[in-house]
Amino acid sequence: KPSGLWSGIFSRADVVVSSARRYKSQYRRLLTGVNESTGSLEDGVAILNSKHEIIWFNPAASRLLALDPAGDIGQRLDNLVRSPDLVRELTDSRGDTITILAPQDQARQLSLRIIPYEDRQSLAIVRDVTHQMKLERMRRDFVANASHELRSPLTVISGYLDALADADDLPDSWKVPIGETQRQAERMTRILSDLLELMRLESAEGRAEASPVDVCAMLELIEKEFAVRPQFPRLSLDLDAGLLLLGSESELHSVFYNLINNAVRFTPPDGKVHVCWEVENDGAIFVVEDTGIGIPEEDLPRITERFYRVDRGRSRDTGGTGLGLAIVKHALQRHDSTLAIESRVGQGSAFRCQFP
Ligand code: ADP
């Protein structure tokens, strides 16, 4: 039996060994708990190292992404799940939720999100969203079909109204109500066509077509359209001639037209609206700045929601549908761009779109 100095060392070692044993069994219990709880999760979870190789995944991830627990540890996730969006998420870590088709069942849609954490590791969270997507598609189809169905009767009503308004024998007392009915019918037509456009953008998948668009020519045409209307403030342009953008001509026209239209509608006639299109940070930037009424800070986060308006009456009276910014947001998404808004009540607003 050791004595003296050795006895002290051995009893210390005993303490260390038994506490290590205790920690080990604590860790084992913790690990079992983690395995059991992640095993019962409906969402798939996978841990990736800095090279995007899988170091662990739960049973749901194995089921959804067809991962083999025996063979796929150590494999890169983007080698097992083929998707350009996934590759982009892994390299850029933008934190966006992407939708992919299930590797073993192309009829199922999965949402996938990569969440980076310390040491450049990341967590991949995957969920089956097939049912949700189906409901979403039904909602869009319903709104699009309803808008489409309403359009034909409205065309007939507008036609008769126009004929009535032009009739020589129209009694004076009818002129005001018929004029107002015409304006309301026009408003309804605008709402329906904006709804159809929004539904079309929402259901279009992926990126917009990429043909070269002459943005300067487009902006000059839009400027001319507004210049002839005296109720609007003066528009000034600052354009980088020859700076083309790859995208969809009609969608980009929608973006620029809606933003400029808003700026002139929410700025008094003696105010200013400045439009700028130029190169910035390896890309191009489009900015519309106005000296208009501005947007209260608390409304800013909701301003791009469908039918969200700070002042419903003012929006309506100036010919708004409440859908313009929702259309802008969706069209920009399809051009890898986002809308940044700065605004001060009573001083004006700036809407910026940065294109890669
Ligand atoms: P609307 O048809 O009402 O303009 P939008 O979706 O285009 O619908 O805009 C939503 C709301 O955002 C507007 O009703 C208005 O309250 C506010 N808004 C948009 N652009 C501007 C702007 N340039 N200045 C002030 N308010 C704005």
Instruction: Tell me the three state secondary structure of residue 134.
Output: helix
Task: List 54's β-bridge partners, or say none.
Answer: 48
pLDDT value, residue 59: 92
The average confidence (pLDDT) of the chain is: 92
Q: What is the pLDDT of residues 113-149, one digit of tens each?
A: 999 887 789 999 999 999 999 999 999 999 999 999 9
pLDDT digits (tens, 9 = 90+) for 80-120: 988 888 998 888 877 788 999 998 888 999 999 999 887 78
In short, whether 254's Cβ falls inside 6 Å of ligand 1 is no
Ligand 1 atom closest to 321 (CA)? 2
Say whether pLDDT at 332 is over 80. Answer: yes
**Measured from the CB, is residue 261 less than 6 Å from ligand 1?**
no
Taking the C-alpha atoms of 189, 193, 196 and 202 in order, what is their torsion angle to the nearest 10 degrees?
-140
pTM: 0.80
Using the predicted structure, report yes or no on whether residue 77 has a pLDDT greater than 90: yes
Q: What is the pLDDT of residue 318?
A: 87
Cβ–ligand 1 contact at 322 (below 6 Å):
yes
Task: Kindly state the tokens that stand for 248.
Answer: 């969809």
pLDDT band at 319; cut points 50, 70, 90: confident
Q: Phi/psi zone of residue 52: left (φ > 0), alpha (ψ -120 to 50 degrees), beta?
A: left
Binding site membership of 325 for ligand 1 (Cβ less than 6 Å) = yes
Site to probe by mutation for ligand 1, drawn from 302, 304, 315 as the one with most ligand atoms within 8 Å of Cβ, is 315
- Rounded Cα distance, 31 and 36, in Å: 8
Cβ of 349 below 6 Å from ligand 1: yes
Q: Please state, for a pLDDT cut of 90, what percent of the chain lies above it.
A: 71
1 pLDDT higher than 70: no
- Partners of residue 274 on adjacent β-strands: 236, 289
Cα gap 227→157, rounded to integer Å? 31
pLDDT tens digits for 199-232? 999 988 778 889 999 999 999 999 999 999 888 9
pLDDT, mean of residues 232-257? 95
Tokens of 332: 């920009």
Interval 254-304: pLDDT, tens: 999 999 999 999 999 999 999 999 999 889 999 999 999 999 999 999 999
Q: Which amino acid is at 222?
A: I
pLDDT of res. 134: 94
Choice from 187, 287, 303, 345 to test ligand 1 binding pocket (greatest atom count within 8 A of CB): 303
Tell me the pLDDT tens digit for each residue of 172-190.
999 999 999 999 999 999 9
291 lines ligand 1 (CB under 6 A): no
pLDDT at 91: 86
CA of 176 to the centre of ligand 1 (A): 28
- Between CA 152 and CA 144 the distance in angstroms is 13
Pocket test for ligand 1, best of 306, 307, 325 (most atoms within 8 A of CB): 325
CA-nearest residue, atom 13 of ligand 1: 309
- The pLDDT-based confidence of 9 (bands split at 50, 70, 90) is confident
- Alpha-carbon span 303 to 57, nearest angstrom: 40
Cα of first residue to Cα of last residue in the chain, in angstroms, is 76
Q: Kindly indicate the confidence band of residue 6, based on its pLDDT and cuts at 50, 70 and 90.
A: confident
Long-range CB contact pairs, 59-67, < 8 A, 24+: 60/126, 61/124, 61/126, 64/102, 64/110, 64/126, 64/127, 64/128, 65/102, 65/103, 65/110, 65/126, 66/102, 66/103, 66/104
